[in-house]
């Protein structure tokens, strides 16, 4: 593949991203009428997710981890009933959409490069799907809600019992689907370590206008069926037993951190640990009871709660967190696990590196936010002029997970 040509042509398409993706779906559904029923009624979040995935592939073409990413993506797409014929249809519509959006920049060479690139992507995704089927992994796991607890007007904890064994690692996430919102899947972190009874917890923040989060918080009841995708994510424990580690969680980023801490609680006593639990405002800070119970099980855990001061801008929580991080030392010796929205990660990770934590010791998942298209900043100046939005546990903001 000509990676440079793919990136340069994609940069042209990216300037007309919304137009390109709208054309893509129109072309796909017009030429393959039966495909439309596989997609949700509201296509706006789907369009955003498609372009986020394309951006990831284009920016990581030469990354040695891309094949694993695509293999897992194909494994995960089994829940959409994606067959080889659908991959072929998507490739044809994607080429047509890019040619339309790129205009004169779409050359014979660009089309050849993209055809080769898409063939590479589709082959790895289908291979991942085939490997999952060969080992008996289902496209999804049926589960039932056994507990639904409201922690306020906009937050709920759901406990689910999968109907068949569901293997995962603490810190991972799953996609979830409900009959109340047909053909919609949204991503939530698993909020507990592995239990003997096989149940799992999800923390769901209701987002204004979010169809899935609203259904899960306001309408889903005990006994209702839900579906879970295969687990994914890289926010899993890498620290040797007894070695120091730091956890930083913003909003419902507390869910995977809680799972990691529950796993650490089974490790050796005396483990040195630091937890920073952050919320944009005091009313959105939750989980204190769980934290106190974990402190009893992990005597070496030091906890810092951070929120904005009353009647102060919610962004003050960011300043308080960064100040708190500077007051602690020994960062080069700590593995650091960070969970929260993309904007939170964008602000926090560079500070940790500045304090001396090596990039290879900072662990997090970066899931793209759902929102209107905006071209990626192409320079440091553009990042400064138009920085990413901050989205924490705040019902008035759009969510990075669980829209």
Task: Examine the pLDDT at 385 and tell me if it is beyond 90.
Answer: no
* Confidence bin at 92 (pLDDT 50/70/90): very high
- The dotted CATH code for 245-385 is 3.40.50.80
Spell out the CATH class of 3-134. mainly alpha
* Helix (H) or strand (E) segment spanning residue 360: none
Spell out the CATH class of 141-228. mainly beta
Question: Can you give the pLDDT at residue 17?
Answer: 86
Instruction: Encode pLDDT of 296-319 as tens digits.
Output: 999 889 999 999 877 666 667 878
- The predicted model gives 287-297 an average pLDDT of 93
Report H helices in 103-195.
108-134
Question: Can you give the pLDDT at residue 269?
Answer: 67
Task: Examine the pLDDT at 201 and tell me if it is beyond 80.
Answer: yes
Place of tokens 């930083």: 248
Question: Can you give the pLDDT at residue 270?
Answer: 60
CA 204/CA 136 separation, integer angstroms:
30
Question: Can you give the pLDDT at residue 313?
Answer: 63
Question: Can you give the pLDDT at residue 317?
Answer: 83
Q: pTM of the entire structure? A: 0.83
| Selected residue with higher pLDDT from 319 and 143 | 143
Q: Closest Cα to residue 257, out of 236, 241, 272?
A: 236
Q: Are 12 and 110 within 8 A, CB to CB?
A: no
Spell out the domain ranges in the chain.
3-134, 141-228, 245-385
Backbone angles phi, psi at 205, to 5 degrees: -100, 125
The residue count of the chain comes to 403
Question: Can you give the pLDDT at residue 352?
Answer: 96
Backbone angles phi, psi at 375, to 5 degrees: -55, 145
Question: Can you give the pLDDT at residue 314?
Answer: 60
Point out which residues pair with 174 in neighbouring strands.
188
- The predicted model gives 55-67 an average pLDDT of 89
How many CA atoms lie less than 13 Å away from 6 in the CB half-sphere? 20
Q: Are 392 and 344 within 8 A, CB to CB?
A: yes
CA 278/CA 270 separation, integer angstroms:
25
DSSP state of 219: I
Question: Can you give the pLDDT at residue 388?
Answer: 41
* Confidence bin at 380 (pLDDT 50/70/90): very low
Q: What is the gyration radius of the CA atoms in the chain, in angstroms?
A: 22
Instruction: Encode pLDDT of 206-259 as tens digits.
Output: 887 889 999 999 999 999 999 999 999 889 999 998 899 999 999 999 999 999
């Amino acid at each position: 593949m000509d990676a440079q040509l793919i990136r340069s042509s994609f940069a042209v398409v990216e300037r007309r991203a919304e137009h390109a993706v709208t054309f893509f779906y129109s072309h796909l559904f017009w030429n393959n009428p039966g495909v439309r029923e596989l997609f949700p009624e509201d296509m706006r979040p789907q369009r955003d997710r498609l372009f986020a995935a394309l951006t990831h592939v284009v920016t990581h073409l030469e990354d040695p981890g891309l094949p694993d990413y695509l293999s897992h993506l194909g494994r995960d797409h089994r829940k959409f009933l994606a067959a080889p014929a659908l991959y072929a249809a998507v490739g044809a519509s994607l080429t047509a959409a890019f040619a339309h959006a790129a205009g004169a920049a779409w050359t014979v060479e660009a089309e050849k490069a993209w055809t080769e690139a898409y063939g590479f992507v589709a082959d790895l995704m289908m291979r991942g799907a085939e490997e999952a089927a060969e080992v008996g992994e289902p496209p999804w796991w049926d589960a039932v809600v056994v507990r639904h607890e409201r922690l306020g007007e906009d937050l709920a904890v759901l406990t689910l019992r999968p109907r068949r064994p569901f293997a995962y690692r603490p810190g991972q996430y799953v996609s979830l689907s409900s009959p109340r919102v047909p053909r919609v899947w949204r991503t939530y972190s698993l909020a507990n370590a592995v239990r003997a009874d096989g149940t799992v917890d999800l923390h769901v923040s209701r987002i204004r206008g979010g169809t899935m989060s609203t259904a899960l918080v306001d309408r889903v009841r005990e006994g209702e069926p839900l579906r879970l995708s295969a687990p994914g994510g890289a926010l899993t424990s890498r620290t040797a037993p007894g070695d120091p580690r730091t956890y930083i969680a913003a909003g419902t980023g507390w869910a995977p951190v809680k799972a990691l801490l529950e796993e650490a609680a089974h490790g050796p006593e005396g483990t040195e640990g630091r937890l920073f639990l952050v919320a944009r405002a005091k009313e959105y800070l939750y989980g204190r009871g769980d934290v106190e119970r974990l402190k009893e099980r992990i005597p070496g855990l030091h906890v810092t709660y951070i929120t904005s001061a009353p009647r102060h801008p919610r962004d003050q929580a960011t300043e308080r967190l960064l100040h708190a991080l500077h007051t602690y030392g020994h960062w080069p010796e700590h593995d650091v696990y960070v969970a929260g929205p993309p904007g939170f990660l964008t602000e926090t990770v560079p500070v940790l590196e500045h304090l001396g934590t090596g990039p290879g010791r900072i662990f997090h998942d970066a899931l793209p936010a759902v929102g209107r298209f905006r071209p990626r900043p192409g320079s440091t100046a553009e990042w400064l002029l138009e920085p990413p939005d901050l989205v924490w546990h705040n019902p008035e903001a759009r969510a990075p997970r669980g829209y």
